[in-house]
Structure 1
Amino acid sequence: MAGTRRYSARVETTRTGRLWHTVTLVVAALGLVLQIVAIVTRTDLLDHSAVTASMPEQVRRYFCYFTIQSNLLVAVSMALILRGRTDTRLFRVVRLASLIGITVTGVVAFVALAPSSNYTALNLLCDRLLHIAVPLLTVVGWAVFGPRGKIHRDDLLPALAWPVLWLVATLALGPVVDWYPYPFLRVNEIGWGQTLLNCLVIAVLFFALAAAARWVDLRLTRRRPASVTR
């Protein structure tokens, strides 16, 4: 009887975990699709100062936002989990990169990116889905359901390559197109000194989150078998 109860609990955990990851995937995809539809239909814009920008430029800017990229990585990692594709290094790197990226997205949004007073109901919905709902679902889902034992020391630098390259590319391209995705990166307004200081703080946050994720993963792996998270 005791063995049956343990088996049932394990099955329930598996089903609950799959449901949680499914909801995370759906919410991320919904936010991403609604936002691009709003841009393409000109129902709303991510950057109201760029109202005169062409449609191709608006779409390009959409994919330049760290928020969009981190939500895309979350969606990919959730899809890989749900399909059972968790035994490759590619998954481990994408999963860790998405976890770090979406956590930074949530933290920065909470601290420095309050919703604009110009937001319509649709834009506010997209903002809350991509900046609040997906970060919470991703972090809680990872902590509670895993999968466990998927953060290796050798995966830390590859996972951190994406956010660092994003910062470098954003600063390099900014002067060329005269546009920056976030106020704390606008060199033309706050200067290089403040911008580089902001980048340093964000980079430290990246590395700290990666180290913390590995430490937490190691501790949680010892407490429960990795199989219950799939």
Structure 2
Amino acid sequence: MRVATGSGSVKILFASLRAIAAVAIVVAIIGQYQHSASLGPVNPFNFFGYFTIQSNLIGAVAFGLSALVIFAGRAQPLWLVYLRALATVLLAIVGIVYNTLLTGAGLEGAFNVQWSNDILHIWIPIYAALDWLLFGDKAKLPFAKLWVMLIYPLVWLAVVLFRGATDGWVPYPFLDPATGYASVAVYCLLIAAVTILFGYAVYALSRVRMLKP
């Protein structure tokens, strides 16, 4: 199944904004990485292990590919709509969790470039939500496939927990085994529940088309 993107100025608007968002994400991540490297050696497995970084990279890929497909005048494949849905879910979680739980948490200097931090934790999550809500070039996603949204978060959690138990590195304090595995388990279940909740909202909004291409 493919989703037609239509033609005209609205189509160009969709593609242009997504291309800008993708570039902004890449620039923000490079800016933070370069700054971190200027302060000392950077372990790329740690830097790119953050949910924020990975979610934004998924968003950059989703927005960038969608923009390229539209500029090429082609219909969007269904898998790309699912990727955009996943990016929207992940970025919404990033924006809400960071700005409610992690602001000022001091994540080992991982997000200490203010403009980069604002792009990754505020502006891109806001854009992703508005893109999904307003732009009508998306298919109606079936709730029976809501489980697709859980694949990435569960894999990410598994890797983080493995690293926490072996080399002791965790990206966020609430996943630190030192706080007790019972506490970590609660947060893991909470992450899964929030992912399903946000996923349900994103699937429901796939039926809303305010700006049609």
What TM-score, normalized by structure 1, do the two folds share?
0.78
| Runs of 4+, deviation exceeding 4 Å | 116-122
1:6 maps to none
SS in 2 for 1:83: helix
Percentage of matched positions with identical amino acids: 23
2:34 is aligned with 1:37: yes
Post-superposition shift, 1:155? 4.5
* Residue range with higher mean Cα deviation, 98-107 or 144-153: 144-153
2:4 maps to none
**Aligned 8 A contact 1:100 1:209 in 2:** yes
**Which runs of no fewer than 5 residues in structure 2 stay unpaired?**
1-6
2:5 is aligned with 1:20: no
Post-superposition shift, 1:194? 1.4
Matched AA of 2:197: A
SS in 2 for 1:147: coil
Post-superposition shift, 1:35? 1.6
Matched AA of 1:177: D
**Which runs of no fewer than 5 residues in structure 1 stay unpaired?**
1-9, 44-53
**Aligned 8 A contact 1:27 1:133 in 2:** no
SS in 2 for 1:181: coil
Once superposed, what is the RMSD of the aligned Cα atoms?
2.5
2:44 is aligned with 1:59: yes
Q: 2:156 aligns with which of 163, 166, 191?
A: 166
2:203 is aligned with 1:214: yes
What aligned pairs does 1:68-83 form with structure 2 within 5 A after superposition? Answer: 68-83=53-68
SS in 1 for 2:19: helix
Q: 1:191 to 1:121 in 2, by over 3 A?
A: closer
2:97 is aligned with 1:97: no
Matched AA of 1:168: A
What TM-score, normalized by structure 2, do the two folds share?
0.84
Structure with larger Rg = 1
Matched AA of 1:74: G
Q: 1:121 to 1:71 in 2, by over 3 A?
A: closer
Q: 1:16 to 1:87 in 2, by over 3 A?
A: closer
Q: 1:196 to 1:116 in 2, by over 3 A?
A: closer
SS in 2 for 1:23: helix
2:165 maps to 175
